[in-house]
């Protein structure tokens, strides 16, 4: 399940065959809180951290946001950093800034050079996505284009459309996270992941959320998902597993898939 165009993030390869990268979110509301969370999380050895800036109290203060990014980078220079402002429509914390200001903030964060990747939602529309794409590309920052549905799992063909749309709009990584209502929905997400993996040339990330979906966080890599999100100190989405436990489960499965008959 390797991808044609893996993304290099500080020496970690997103989109390689086999074991996925483990990403831990930073969800604190203050600068000091984020930094202390980072210290705790870093000790647990994630491959990647995602700063969920929608949960940051001072999102309206562009300089403050850039400064936190700088402090994260400075405290953990080896760790790839993904910067995300998740919208409340897609499961994020409500933010006090407009979408134009979000785009401007993403641009400022790319310009400052402290992050390796930014996440932007497909639902913002092609025009805004192109703007973020242009700015991130100019600064060598990878772009994750994402789609979340916290209410349901759309049919597999519609999920594949989302992955495809992300690639078409220039994403370096396509991400889809959806909520299952029944175990069938978990298989739908895994099947769509596999179809997209076979079709797309960029790495993809997918998960089925919540308790029902938690198996996807452990086995999604076998169906083409290159990153799995795990709890460091605080969860950023329902169904996330603590990083130590997730890593233990991956140790078992990836060793089995790679080495045993």
Which positions lie near its own copies, rule CB under 8 A? 1, 183-184, 186-187, 190-191, 194, 210-212, 214-215, 218-219, 222-224, 235, 238-241, 245-246, 248-249, 251-253, 256-258, 260-261
Minimum CB–partner distance for residue 94 and its own copies (Å): 19
Minimum CB–partner distance for residue 101 and its own copies (Å): 31
H or E element at residue 189: helix 183-199
Minimum CB–partner distance for residue 204 and its own copies (Å): 14
Annotation says 148 is catalytic: yes
Annotation says 44 is catalytic: no
Query: Is the Cβ of residue 87 or residue 236 nearer to its own copies in the bound state?
Result: 236
3-state secondary structure of 213: helix
CA distance 210 to 129: 28
CA distance 160 to 239: 22
**Those residues with Cβ within 8 angstroms of residue 207's Cβ, 6 or more apart along the chain or in another chain:** 177, 189, 213, 216, 217, 220, 225, 228, 229, 237, 239
Query: Is the Cβ of residue 32 or residue 245 nearer to its own copies in the bound state?
Result: 245
CA distance 192 to 198: 10
Query: Is the Cβ of residue 81 or residue 218 nearer to its own copies in the bound state?
Result: 218
3-state secondary structure of 71: helix
3-state secondary structure of 40: helix
Give burial (CB, 10 Å; 0-12/13-18/19+) of 234: middle
3-state secondary structure of 122: helix
Query: Is the Cβ of residue 157 or residue 184 nearer to its own copies in the bound state?
Result: 184
State the catalytic residue, choosing from 44, 93, 114, 175. 175
Minimum CB–partner distance for residue 38 and its own copies (Å): 23
Compute the residue count for the chain: 261
- Adjacency order of strands within the sheet including 117-121: 204-208, 173-178, 142-149, 117-121, 81-84, 48-52, 21-26, 227-231, 241-242
Query: Is the Cβ of residue 136 or residue 236 nearer to its own copies in the bound state?
Result: 236
Q: Assess contact for 54 and 261: CB atoms under 8 A.
A: no
User: Which of the residues are catalytic?
Assistant: 148, 175
């Amino acid at each position: 399940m390797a991808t044609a165009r893996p993304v290099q993030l500080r020496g970690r390869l997103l989109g390689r065959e086999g074991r996925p990268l483990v990403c831990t979110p930073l969800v604190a509301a203050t600068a000091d809180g984020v930094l202390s969370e980072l210290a705790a999380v870093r000790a647990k050895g994630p491959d990647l951290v995602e700063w969920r800036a929608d949960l940051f109290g001072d999102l309206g203060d562009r300089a403050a946001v850039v400064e936190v990014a700088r402090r994260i980078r400075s405290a953990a220079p080896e760790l790839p950093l993904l910067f995300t402002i998740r919208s409340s429509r897609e499961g994020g914390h409500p933010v006090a800034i407009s979408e134009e200001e979000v785009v401007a903030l993403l641009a400022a964060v790319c310009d400052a050079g402290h992050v390796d990747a930014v996440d932007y939602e497909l639902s913002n529309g092609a025009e805004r996505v192109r703007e973020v794409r242009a700015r991130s590309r100019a600064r060598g920052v990878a772009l994750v284009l994402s789609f979340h549905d916290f209410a349901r799992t759309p049919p597999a063909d519609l999920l594949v459309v989302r992955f495809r749309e992300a690639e078409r709009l220039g994403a370096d990584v396509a991400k889809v996270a959806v909520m299952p209502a029944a175990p069938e929905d978990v298989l739908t997400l895994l099947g769509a992941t596999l179809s997209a993996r076979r079709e797309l040339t960029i790495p993809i990330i997918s998960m089925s959320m919540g308790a029902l979906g938690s198996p996807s966080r452990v086995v999604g890599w076998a169906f083409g998902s290159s990153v799995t999100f795990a709890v460091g100190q605080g969860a950023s989405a329902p169904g996330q597993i603590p990083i130590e436990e997730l890593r233990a489960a991956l140790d078992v499965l990836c060793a089995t898939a790679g080495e045993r008959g």
